Structure 1
Amino acid sequence: MAELATLWIIRHGESTANVAATEAESNGADLIGLTHRDADVPLSPTGEEQARATGRWLAGLPADRRPDVAVVSPYLRAVSTAELALHGTGVPVSRDERLRDRELGILDGLTGHGVRRRFPDEAERRARLGKFYYRPPGGESWTDVALRLRTLLGDLRRDHAGQRVLLFGHDALVFLLRYLVEGLTEPELMALTREHVIANCSITHWSADSEDRLMPGGFNEVGHLRRQGAQPTREDEVHAEPV
Protein backbone atom coordinates (compact mmCIF):
# COMPACT_ATOMS: atom_id res chain seq x y z
CA MET A 1 0.00 0.00 0.00
CA ALA A 2 1.40 3.40 -0.96
CA GLU A 3 2.22 5.81 1.83
CA LEU A 4 0.85 9.29 2.48
CA ALA A 5 3.07 12.09 1.19
CA THR A 6 2.69 14.10 4.39
CA LEU A 7 0.75 13.63 7.61
CA TRP A 8 0.12 16.46 10.05
CA ILE A 9 -1.81 16.51 13.30
CA ILE A 10 -2.75 19.78 14.99
CA ARG A 11 -4.09 19.78 18.51
CA HIS A 12 -7.16 21.97 18.99
CA GLY A 13 -6.76 25.50 20.29
CA GLU A 14 -7.10 26.33 23.95
CA SER A 15 -10.60 25.40 25.16
CA THR A 16 -12.68 26.73 28.03
CA ALA A 17 -12.19 23.34 29.70
CA ASN A 18 -8.40 23.72 29.47
CA VAL A 19 -8.71 27.03 31.31
CA ALA A 20 -11.09 25.62 33.93
CA ALA A 21 -8.94 22.52 34.46
CA THR A 22 -5.78 24.55 35.03
CA GLU A 23 -7.58 26.67 37.61
CA ALA A 24 -9.10 23.64 39.33
CA GLU A 25 -5.76 21.81 39.51
CA SER A 26 -3.98 24.87 40.91
CA ASN A 27 -6.73 25.31 43.56
CA GLY A 28 -6.65 21.65 44.62
CA ALA A 29 -10.30 21.17 43.61
CA ASP A 30 -11.81 17.76 42.92
CA LEU A 31 -13.96 18.86 39.99
CA ILE A 32 -13.04 20.86 36.90
CA GLY A 33 -16.49 22.45 36.87
CA LEU A 34 -17.40 21.89 33.25
CA THR A 35 -20.63 23.37 31.92
CA HIS A 36 -20.64 21.29 28.71
CA ARG A 37 -20.28 17.64 27.89
CA ASP A 38 -16.80 16.90 26.61
CA ALA A 39 -17.88 16.78 22.96
CA ASP A 40 -19.37 20.30 23.21
CA VAL A 41 -16.56 22.21 24.94
CA PRO A 42 -15.84 25.40 22.93
CA LEU A 43 -12.62 27.25 22.30
CA SER A 44 -11.57 30.09 24.56
CA PRO A 45 -10.83 33.49 22.97
CA THR A 46 -7.14 32.57 23.14
CA GLY A 47 -7.89 29.29 21.40
CA GLU A 48 -9.76 31.07 18.63
CA GLU A 49 -6.79 33.34 17.98
CA GLN A 50 -4.41 30.37 18.02
CA ALA A 51 -6.59 28.72 15.37
CA ARG A 52 -6.63 31.87 13.21
CA ALA A 53 -2.85 32.13 13.51
CA THR A 54 -2.58 28.51 12.40
CA GLY A 55 -4.73 29.46 9.41
CA ARG A 56 -2.35 32.28 8.52
CA TRP A 57 0.52 29.81 8.65
CA LEU A 58 -1.34 27.38 6.39
CA ALA A 59 -2.17 30.15 3.92
CA GLY A 60 1.53 30.99 3.71
CA LEU A 61 2.60 27.50 2.68
CA PRO A 62 3.60 26.98 -0.97
CA ALA A 63 0.84 25.38 -3.02
CA ASP A 64 2.78 22.12 -3.31
CA ARG A 65 3.03 21.82 0.48
CA ARG A 66 -0.54 22.61 1.48
CA PRO A 67 -2.84 19.81 2.64
CA ASP A 68 -4.96 18.01 0.08
CA VAL A 69 -7.55 16.97 2.64
CA ALA A 70 -8.33 17.49 6.33
CA VAL A 71 -9.90 15.02 8.74
CA VAL A 72 -11.25 16.36 12.02
CA SER A 73 -12.36 15.08 15.41
CA PRO A 74 -16.12 15.65 15.77
CA TYR A 75 -15.61 17.38 19.13
CA LEU A 76 -16.52 21.08 18.96
CA ARG A 77 -13.12 22.41 20.03
CA ALA A 78 -11.43 20.51 17.18
CA VAL A 79 -14.14 21.36 14.63
CA SER A 80 -13.91 25.07 15.52
CA THR A 81 -10.13 24.99 15.28
CA ALA A 82 -10.33 23.41 11.83
CA GLU A 83 -13.00 25.84 10.62
CA LEU A 84 -10.97 28.87 11.68
CA ALA A 85 -7.65 27.48 10.42
CA LEU A 86 -8.99 26.30 7.06
CA HIS A 87 -11.33 29.22 6.32
CA GLY A 88 -11.03 30.22 2.68
CA THR A 89 -8.51 27.50 1.77
CA GLY A 90 -10.91 25.22 -0.09
CA VAL A 91 -9.36 22.16 1.58
CA PRO A 92 -11.97 19.36 1.73
CA VAL A 93 -12.88 18.53 5.33
CA SER A 94 -14.47 15.43 6.82
CA ARG A 95 -15.15 14.43 10.42
CA ASP A 96 -14.17 11.07 11.86
CA GLU A 97 -15.19 9.86 15.31
CA ARG A 98 -11.97 7.85 15.56
CA LEU A 99 -10.21 11.18 16.15
CA ARG A 100 -12.29 12.01 19.24
CA ASP A 101 -10.54 12.55 22.56
CA ARG A 102 -9.87 9.68 24.92
CA GLU A 103 -12.96 8.86 26.98
CA LEU A 104 -12.37 8.88 30.75
CA GLY A 105 -15.58 7.20 31.92
CA ILE A 106 -16.32 7.71 35.61
CA LEU A 107 -13.25 9.92 35.96
CA ASP A 108 -14.50 12.47 33.44
CA GLY A 109 -14.45 16.00 34.84
CA LEU A 110 -12.15 15.18 37.76
CA THR A 111 -8.75 16.65 38.49
CA GLY A 112 -5.86 14.40 39.42
CA HIS A 113 -6.52 15.31 43.07
CA GLY A 114 -10.20 14.44 42.64
CA VAL A 115 -9.39 11.02 41.20
CA ARG A 116 -7.10 10.20 44.11
CA ARG A 117 -9.62 11.40 46.71
CA ARG A 118 -12.86 10.04 45.24
CA PHE A 119 -11.57 6.88 43.56
CA PRO A 120 -8.46 5.79 45.47
CA ASP A 121 -8.87 2.19 44.28
CA GLU A 122 -8.82 3.37 40.66
CA ALA A 123 -5.77 5.53 41.31
CA GLU A 124 -4.04 2.49 42.78
CA ARG A 125 -5.09 0.26 39.87
CA ARG A 126 -3.85 2.84 37.38
CA ALA A 127 -0.49 2.99 39.18
CA ARG A 128 -0.24 -0.82 39.07
CA LEU A 129 -1.27 -1.28 35.42
CA GLY A 130 0.48 1.81 34.07
CA LYS A 131 -0.88 4.64 31.96
CA PHE A 132 -0.76 2.70 28.69
CA TYR A 133 -3.05 -0.19 29.64
CA TYR A 134 -5.23 1.32 32.39
CA ARG A 135 -8.89 1.65 31.37
CA PRO A 136 -11.14 3.72 33.67
CA PRO A 137 -14.59 2.16 34.20
CA GLY A 138 -16.73 3.31 31.28
CA GLY A 139 -13.71 4.82 29.54
CA GLU A 140 -10.80 3.96 27.29
CA SER A 141 -7.20 2.93 27.76
CA TRP A 142 -4.47 4.41 25.60
CA THR A 143 -4.38 1.08 23.78
CA ASP A 144 -8.09 1.42 22.97
CA VAL A 145 -7.40 4.78 21.35
CA ALA A 146 -4.42 3.31 19.50
CA LEU A 147 -6.66 0.62 18.01
CA ARG A 148 -9.08 3.14 16.52
CA LEU A 149 -6.19 5.22 15.21
CA ARG A 150 -4.72 2.12 13.53
CA THR A 151 -7.91 1.68 11.53
CA LEU A 152 -7.99 5.37 10.64
CA LEU A 153 -4.40 5.28 9.39
CA GLY A 154 -5.20 2.26 7.28
CA ASP A 155 -8.14 4.04 5.69
CA LEU A 156 -6.12 7.20 5.08
CA ARG A 157 -3.35 5.24 3.39
CA ARG A 158 -5.89 3.46 1.20
CA ASP A 159 -7.98 6.49 0.28
CA HIS A 160 -5.30 9.22 0.15
CA ALA A 161 -2.12 7.48 -0.96
CA GLY A 162 0.46 10.02 -2.11
CA GLN A 163 -1.53 12.93 -0.67
CA ARG A 164 -0.91 15.44 2.10
CA VAL A 165 -3.36 14.80 4.98
CA LEU A 166 -4.01 17.16 7.88
CA LEU A 167 -5.66 15.91 11.08
CA PHE A 168 -7.20 18.03 13.86
CA GLY A 169 -7.47 16.26 17.18
CA HIS A 170 -6.41 16.00 20.80
CA ASP A 171 -3.25 15.64 22.86
CA ALA A 172 -3.34 11.86 23.43
CA LEU A 173 -3.75 11.35 19.68
CA VAL A 174 -0.53 13.23 18.98
CA PHE A 175 1.43 10.90 21.23
CA LEU A 176 -0.28 7.81 19.88
CA LEU A 177 0.32 8.75 16.25
CA ARG A 178 4.01 8.91 17.06
CA TYR A 179 3.68 5.48 18.67
CA LEU A 180 2.00 4.04 15.57
CA VAL A 181 3.82 5.82 12.75
CA GLU A 182 7.28 5.57 14.29
CA GLY A 183 6.89 2.12 15.82
CA LEU A 184 7.63 3.22 19.37
CA THR A 185 7.56 0.84 22.32
CA GLU A 186 5.39 1.37 25.40
CA PRO A 187 8.38 2.64 27.47
CA GLU A 188 9.39 5.04 24.67
CA LEU A 189 5.85 6.39 24.41
CA MET A 190 5.46 6.81 28.16
CA ALA A 191 8.79 8.63 28.33
CA LEU A 192 7.44 11.10 25.75
CA THR A 193 4.32 11.72 27.85
CA ARG A 194 6.47 12.44 30.90
CA GLU A 195 8.80 14.79 29.03
CA HIS A 196 6.29 16.75 26.94
CA VAL A 197 2.91 18.43 27.20
CA ILE A 198 1.16 18.82 23.84
CA ALA A 199 0.54 22.51 23.31
CA ASN A 200 -2.72 23.88 21.95
CA CYS A 201 -2.54 24.33 18.16
CA SER A 202 0.87 22.69 18.10
CA ILE A 203 1.89 20.92 14.88
CA THR A 204 3.38 17.43 14.62
CA HIS A 205 4.16 16.03 11.20
CA TRP A 206 5.77 13.27 9.13
CA SER A 207 6.78 13.10 5.45
CA ALA A 208 7.44 10.15 3.16
CA ASP A 209 11.09 9.45 2.34
CA SER A 210 12.54 7.95 -0.84
CA GLU A 211 11.57 4.48 0.35
CA ASP A 212 7.94 5.53 0.93
CA ARG A 213 8.19 5.52 4.72
CA LEU A 214 6.72 8.26 6.90
CA MET A 215 9.60 9.93 8.73
CA PRO A 216 9.31 12.45 11.61
CA GLY A 217 9.51 16.08 10.53
CA GLY A 218 8.53 18.01 13.66
CA PHE A 219 6.92 17.44 17.05
CA ASN A 220 4.75 19.73 19.18
CA GLU A 221 5.85 22.81 17.25
CA VAL A 222 4.42 26.23 18.19
CA GLY A 223 6.77 28.58 16.35
CA HIS A 224 4.08 29.27 13.77
CA LEU A 225 1.89 30.78 16.48
CA ARG A 226 4.54 33.26 17.54
CA ARG A 227 5.38 34.13 13.94
CA GLN A 228 1.70 34.80 13.24
CA GLY A 229 1.21 36.98 16.30
CA ALA A 230 -0.58 34.53 18.61
CA GLN A 231 0.47 33.54 22.11
CA PRO A 232 1.12 29.83 22.65
CA THR A 233 -0.40 28.46 25.81
CA ARG A 234 2.30 28.13 28.46
CA GLU A 235 3.19 24.54 29.33
CA ASP A 236 2.03 25.00 32.92
CA GLU A 237 -1.36 26.12 31.56
CA VAL A 238 -1.84 23.20 29.16
CA HIS A 239 -4.07 20.78 30.99
CA ALA A 240 -3.33 17.11 30.48
CA GLU A 241 -5.80 14.38 31.39
CA PRO A 242 -5.55 13.26 35.05
CA VAL A 243 -5.09 9.53 34.26
Structure 2
Amino acid sequence: MTTEFILLRHGETEWNAQERLQGHLNSTLSPEGLRQADALAARLATVRFQALYSSDLGRAVQTASRIAATTGHTLQEDARLRERGLGILEGLTRTEARQRHPDVFAEYAAGGPDFVVPEGESASQRLRLAMGCLEELAGRHPRARVVVTTHGGLLSSLFRHCLGIPPATPRAFAVLNASWNRFDFDAGSFRLVSWGDVSHLRGSSLDDT
Protein backbone atom coordinates (compact mmCIF):
# COMPACT_ATOMS: atom_id res chain seq x y z
CA MET A 1 0.00 0.00 0.00
CA THR A 2 3.03 2.29 -0.26
CA THR A 3 2.44 5.73 -1.76
CA GLU A 4 5.52 7.38 -3.24
CA PHE A 5 5.61 11.14 -2.83
CA ILE A 6 7.90 13.29 -4.96
CA LEU A 7 8.00 16.51 -2.96
CA LEU A 8 9.35 19.48 -4.87
CA ARG A 9 10.40 22.85 -3.57
CA HIS A 10 9.16 25.69 -5.76
CA GLY A 11 11.58 27.52 -8.07
CA GLU A 12 13.57 30.50 -6.91
CA THR A 13 11.51 33.64 -6.29
CA GLU A 14 12.48 37.29 -6.43
CA TRP A 15 12.35 37.36 -2.62
CA ASN A 16 14.49 34.21 -2.35
CA ALA A 17 17.14 36.05 -4.33
CA GLN A 18 16.82 39.01 -1.93
CA GLU A 19 16.83 36.66 1.10
CA ARG A 20 13.44 37.90 2.30
CA LEU A 21 11.23 35.84 4.59
CA GLN A 22 8.11 34.90 2.62
CA GLY A 23 5.82 32.79 4.77
CA HIS A 24 2.27 33.24 3.48
CA LEU A 25 3.17 36.33 1.48
CA ASN A 26 4.16 35.72 -2.10
CA SER A 27 6.83 36.67 -4.58
CA THR A 28 6.85 35.67 -8.22
CA LEU A 29 9.43 33.31 -9.63
CA SER A 30 12.63 34.96 -10.80
CA PRO A 31 13.95 34.24 -14.32
CA GLU A 32 16.14 31.57 -12.72
CA GLY A 33 13.10 30.18 -10.90
CA LEU A 34 11.19 29.89 -14.17
CA ARG A 35 14.13 28.00 -15.69
CA GLN A 36 14.14 25.70 -12.67
CA ALA A 37 10.40 25.06 -12.93
CA ASP A 38 10.75 24.19 -16.60
CA ALA A 39 13.60 21.80 -15.76
CA LEU A 40 11.37 20.04 -13.23
CA ALA A 41 8.61 19.85 -15.84
CA ALA A 42 10.96 18.33 -18.41
CA ARG A 43 12.11 15.70 -15.93
CA LEU A 44 8.58 14.84 -14.85
CA ALA A 45 7.57 14.41 -18.49
CA THR A 46 9.63 11.19 -18.38
CA VAL A 47 8.01 9.88 -15.19
CA ARG A 48 4.69 8.12 -14.72
CA PHE A 49 2.73 9.61 -11.82
CA GLN A 50 -0.92 9.61 -10.88
CA ALA A 51 -1.63 13.07 -9.50
CA LEU A 52 -0.19 16.57 -9.10
CA TYR A 53 -0.83 18.66 -5.99
CA SER A 54 0.48 22.01 -4.81
CA SER A 55 0.41 24.48 -1.99
CA ASP A 56 -2.03 27.24 -2.88
CA LEU A 57 0.62 29.97 -2.49
CA GLY A 58 1.50 31.66 -5.79
CA ARG A 59 5.15 30.60 -6.04
CA ALA A 60 4.27 26.93 -5.64
CA VAL A 61 1.29 27.20 -8.00
CA GLN A 62 3.44 28.99 -10.58
CA THR A 63 5.97 26.15 -10.43
CA ALA A 64 3.34 23.40 -10.52
CA SER A 65 1.42 25.07 -13.36
CA ARG A 66 4.46 24.82 -15.60
CA ILE A 67 4.69 21.14 -14.71
CA ALA A 68 1.00 20.60 -15.45
CA ALA A 69 1.31 22.36 -18.81
CA THR A 70 4.03 19.88 -19.79
CA THR A 71 2.69 16.63 -18.32
CA GLY A 72 -1.04 17.19 -18.86
CA HIS A 73 -1.98 16.52 -15.23
CA THR A 74 -4.75 18.46 -13.50
CA LEU A 75 -3.27 20.67 -10.79
CA GLN A 76 -5.00 20.42 -7.41
CA GLU A 77 -4.23 23.03 -4.73
CA ASP A 78 -4.35 22.53 -0.96
CA ALA A 79 -3.69 25.22 1.65
CA ARG A 80 -2.37 22.60 4.09
CA LEU A 81 0.76 22.34 1.94
CA ARG A 82 1.66 26.00 2.51
CA GLU A 83 4.85 27.36 4.01
CA ARG A 84 4.77 28.23 7.71
CA GLY A 85 3.07 31.55 8.35
CA LEU A 86 5.70 33.98 9.64
CA GLY A 87 3.37 36.79 10.65
CA ILE A 88 5.13 40.06 11.45
CA LEU A 89 8.41 38.78 9.96
CA GLU A 90 7.04 38.26 6.47
CA GLY A 91 8.52 40.43 3.74
CA LEU A 92 11.60 41.32 5.78
CA THR A 93 15.18 40.29 5.21
CA ARG A 94 16.76 38.50 8.15
CA THR A 95 18.72 41.67 8.95
CA GLU A 96 15.55 43.78 8.91
CA ALA A 97 13.69 41.22 11.02
CA ARG A 98 16.50 41.19 13.58
CA GLN A 99 16.49 44.98 13.78
CA ARG A 100 12.72 45.54 13.91
CA HIS A 101 11.64 42.56 16.00
CA PRO A 102 14.76 41.41 17.88
CA ASP A 103 13.03 39.25 20.49
CA VAL A 104 10.67 37.61 18.01
CA PHE A 105 13.44 36.99 15.50
CA ALA A 106 15.69 35.48 18.18
CA GLU A 107 12.94 33.01 19.13
CA TYR A 108 12.29 32.22 15.46
CA ALA A 109 16.00 31.71 14.73
CA ALA A 110 16.36 29.44 17.77
CA GLY A 111 14.14 26.95 15.94
CA GLY A 112 11.78 25.98 18.73
CA PRO A 113 9.01 23.94 17.07
CA ASP A 114 6.19 25.37 19.17
CA PHE A 115 7.11 29.06 18.97
CA VAL A 116 4.24 30.95 17.34
CA VAL A 117 5.38 34.02 15.44
CA PRO A 118 2.97 36.89 16.25
CA GLU A 119 0.22 36.88 13.59
CA GLY A 120 1.74 33.64 12.26
CA GLU A 121 2.07 30.04 13.40
CA SER A 122 4.56 27.53 14.77
CA ALA A 123 6.60 25.00 12.78
CA SER A 124 4.83 22.14 14.56
CA GLN A 125 1.39 23.50 13.66
CA ARG A 126 2.34 23.69 9.98
CA LEU A 127 3.93 20.23 9.99
CA ARG A 128 0.80 18.66 11.49
CA LEU A 129 -1.35 20.24 8.78
CA ALA A 130 0.96 19.05 6.01
CA MET A 131 1.34 15.52 7.34
CA GLY A 132 -2.42 15.23 7.70
CA CYS A 133 -2.78 16.33 4.07
CA LEU A 134 -0.16 13.87 2.82
CA GLU A 135 -1.70 11.01 4.78
CA GLU A 136 -5.05 11.85 3.22
CA LEU A 137 -3.48 11.88 -0.24
CA ALA A 138 -1.85 8.52 0.45
CA GLY A 139 -5.28 7.10 1.24
CA ARG A 140 -6.60 8.61 -1.97
CA HIS A 141 -3.70 7.25 -4.07
CA PRO A 142 -2.55 3.89 -2.66
CA ARG A 143 0.27 2.14 -4.53
CA ALA A 144 0.80 5.25 -6.64
CA ARG A 145 3.33 8.00 -7.26
CA VAL A 146 2.16 11.51 -6.39
CA VAL A 147 3.94 14.81 -7.10
CA VAL A 148 3.59 17.71 -4.67
CA THR A 149 4.99 21.23 -5.01
CA THR A 150 5.61 22.84 -1.65
CA HIS A 151 8.07 24.95 0.37
CA GLY A 152 11.50 24.87 1.98
CA GLY A 153 10.49 25.31 5.61
CA LEU A 154 7.91 22.56 5.40
CA LEU A 155 10.32 20.20 3.65
CA SER A 156 12.92 20.91 6.33
CA SER A 157 10.44 20.03 9.08
CA LEU A 158 9.45 16.77 7.38
CA PHE A 159 13.13 15.86 6.84
CA ARG A 160 13.82 16.36 10.56
CA HIS A 161 10.72 14.40 11.51
CA CYS A 162 11.68 11.39 9.39
CA LEU A 163 15.29 11.30 10.61
CA GLY A 164 14.53 12.12 14.24
CA ILE A 165 16.55 15.35 14.18
CA PRO A 166 15.43 17.65 17.02
CA PRO A 167 13.71 20.71 15.52
CA ALA A 168 15.98 23.17 17.35
CA THR A 169 19.20 21.51 16.13
CA PRO A 170 21.06 23.95 13.84
CA ARG A 171 20.39 22.99 10.24
CA ALA A 172 23.28 21.15 8.62
CA PHE A 173 21.50 20.31 5.37
CA ALA A 174 20.40 22.31 2.35
CA VAL A 175 16.83 22.80 1.09
CA LEU A 176 17.40 23.86 -2.50
CA ASN A 177 14.96 25.60 -4.81
CA ALA A 178 13.43 23.17 -7.33
CA SER A 179 14.88 20.20 -5.45
CA TRP A 180 13.41 16.73 -5.89
CA ASN A 181 12.81 14.90 -2.59
CA ARG A 182 11.23 11.47 -2.25
CA PHE A 183 9.28 10.30 0.77
CA ASP A 184 7.35 7.03 0.93
CA PHE A 185 4.26 6.63 3.10
CA ASP A 186 3.37 3.14 4.29
CA ALA A 187 1.70 1.64 7.35
CA GLY A 188 1.03 5.05 8.85
CA SER A 189 4.53 6.49 8.66
CA PHE A 190 6.81 8.43 6.33
CA ARG A 191 10.24 7.26 5.20
CA LEU A 192 12.85 9.45 3.54
CA VAL A 193 14.16 7.82 0.35
CA SER A 194 16.12 10.61 -1.35
CA TRP A 195 16.86 14.26 -0.65
CA GLY A 196 18.00 17.35 -2.50
CA ASP A 197 18.24 15.92 -6.01
CA VAL A 198 18.86 18.76 -8.49
CA SER A 199 20.33 16.72 -11.33
CA HIS A 200 17.63 18.15 -13.64
CA LEU A 201 19.07 21.63 -13.10
CA ARG A 202 22.38 20.49 -14.55
CA GLY A 203 20.73 19.43 -17.78
CA SER A 204 20.52 15.75 -16.90
CA SER A 205 17.35 13.72 -16.49
CA LEU A 206 16.38 10.59 -14.65
CA ASP A 207 14.28 7.99 -16.38
CA ASP A 208 12.26 6.81 -13.38
CA THR A 209 9.48 5.08 -15.27
TM range (shorter): 0.7 to 0.9
Q: Which amino acid aligns with 1:11?
A: R
Match of 1:171 in 2: 152
1:48 deviates by: 0.6
Using the size of structure 2 for normalisation, the TM-score is: 0.85
The answer on whether the counterparts of 2:84 and 2:121 sit within 8 Å (CA) in structure 1 is yes
Between the two proteins, what is the percent identity of the paired residues? 31
Q: CA RMSD in A?
A: 2.7
Match of 1:233 in 2: none
Please give the secondary structure, in 2, of the residue aligned with 1:195.
coil
Give per-residue Cα distances to partners, 1:11-51, cap 9 Å, x unaligned: 00011111222xxxxxxxxxx599xx823x21111111111
144-153 or 81-90, larger mean C-alpha shift: 81-90
Alignment of 1:1-243 (within 5 A): 2-4=1-3, 6-21=4-19, 32=20, 38-39=25-26, 41-61=27-47, 66-126=48-108, 130-180=111-161, 182=162, 184-187=163-166, 189-191=167-169, 194-207=171-184, 214-228=190-204
Task: Tell me which structure has the larger Cα radius of gyration.
Answer: 1
1:54 deviates by: 1.0
Please give the secondary structure, in 2, of the residue aligned with 1:88.
helix
- Rounded Cα–Cα distance in structure 2 between residues aligned with 1:116 and 1:130: 15
1:107 deviates by: 1.2
Using the size of structure 1 for normalisation, the TM-score is: 0.74
The gaps in structure 1 that reach 5 residues or longer are 22-31, 230-243
1:60 deviates by: 2.4
More helix by share: 1
When the two structures are aligned, how many residues end up with a matched partner? 204
